[in-house]
Amino acid sequence: MQQAIAVLDSGVGGLTVVKEVMRQLPREKILYFGDTARTPYGPRSAEQVVAFTREIVDYLIQFEPKMIVIACNTATAVALDDITARVSVPVVGVIGPGARAALGRTRTNVVGVIGTEGTIRSGAYEAALNLLSEDGVKVISKACPGFVPLVEDGNFRSAHTHEIVEEALAPLRGTGMDSLILGCTHYPFLADTIAETMGPGVALISSADETAREIRTILERTGQLAAGDAEPLHQFFCSGDPAKFREIAQTWLGAQIRLTPVVWQVPHIGA
């Protein structure tokens, strides 16, 4: 039996990471869990987010994955160390990869970060950027709590979406940043609107590409890269409305999920 890479998120946002993993590692089986019944995680306490993340990992571990990817910035910020200590397989978060990607792009050493309230409040990106930067970096952070509900509703390009994005990002224009980290895996769904708002002088940084590279590096180092030419059968789980999840997943991933998603509601995970 092929061991899967287990990916978890507070909702559909982690599908942005899944899409990049499928592109870079097409032989790997993906096991995805979106906690759509309890999204968003951003306004919740760190204790709640850690508890929810533990529940999901405990559920996914029964499938014996070879790796766990916490594709949620809020959960990465507060639960990565906890989960790493609880399981015997490698655990990958999205904050370190996102910070590395931003530092590789910036020329002004002024980097913006937008994310949920929980992620911004944690200061995790500032800490990662300052740890990784050799020349020093100015970090401008802003919470954008209205973005996740838009994505979970599948509302990516409407006039209402543009209005919310424009209002949220107005304070970031003219600050000198040349790179903006999308510090929530939901936000790439809104990338076109965010790019229009920020203008061509600001590069948008999604952690998905760098996270997939880190996954490959770890699997190569441990000799666990999938072999053979068989197309993997991915599995998708959610704790909320499976119809809405399936619609968004199929729109975002396209033909790559033509054999799936097999979406399950998990009744023991509470609201």
What positions carry a catalytic annotation? 72, 184
Rounded CA-CA distance 10/166 in Å is 24
Element (H, E) at 130: helix 124-132
Tokens 């996954």 label which residue?
215
Rounded CA-CA distance 270/265 in Å is 11
Q: With beta carbons less than 8 A apart as the criterion, state whether 67 and 218 touch.
A: yes
Listing from the earlier edge strand, what are the strands of the sheet with 110-115? Answer: 138-143, 110-115, 179-183, 203-205
Rounded CA-CA distance 259/14 in Å is 19
Q: With beta carbons less than 8 A apart as the criterion, state whether 182 and 206 touch.
A: yes
Rounded CA-CA distance 137/9 in Å is 29
Sign of CA dihedral 69, 239, 53, 190: positive
Spatial neighbors of 96 by CB under 8 A, at least 6 apart, are: 128, 132, 214
